[in-house]
């Protein structure tokens, strides 16, 4: 997965954006390693590319070092799609998760409050 991520970065540097996105999406959809860190980094690239819908595998639902960040980004995507309820639910779970750092719980709580205020 790590070598595929570097391959995608090389493709991006060569302006081969479609090839890079295919490589990244392959990591996202079917990571080969057990370490989901590389899959999560690929998710960040895919999300940052604004290619449309965020893949379900980038929802942060599986434990990994970047899962809380992916959950926030996935919730933001759901909110922008008009699904505020799903976004609030995801952020609410994150806001009370004692397994993650206080700062991330506070951010999730702030986003949940923002979404609630905008409804």
SS3 for 31-81 is CCCCCCHHHHHHHHHHHHCCCCCCCHHHCCCCCCCCHHHHHHHHHHHHHHC
The larger pLDDT score, comparing residue 35 to residue 97, is at: 97
Contact (CB, 8 A) for 108 and 116: no
Q: What is the pLDDT of residues 42-95, one digit of tens each?
A: 888 887 665 556 777 777 777 787 888 888 888 888 888 899 999 999 999 999
pLDDT value of residue 11: 93
């Amino acid at each position: 997965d790590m070598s595929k991520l570097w391959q995608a970065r090389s493709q991006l540097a060569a302006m081969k954006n479609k090839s890079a996105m295919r490589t990244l999406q392959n990591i996202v959809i079917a990571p080969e390693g057990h370490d989901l860190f590389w899959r999560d980094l690929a998710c960040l690239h895919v999300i940052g590319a604004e290619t449309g819908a965020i893949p379900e595998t980038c929802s942060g639902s599986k434990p990994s070092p970047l899962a809380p960040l992916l959950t926030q980004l996935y919730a933001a995507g759901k909110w922008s799609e008009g699904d505020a309820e799903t976004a609030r639910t995801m952020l609410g779970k994150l806001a009370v998760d004692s397994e993650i750092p206080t700062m991330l719980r506070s951010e999730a709580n702030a986003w949940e409050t923002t979404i609630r205020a905008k409804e």
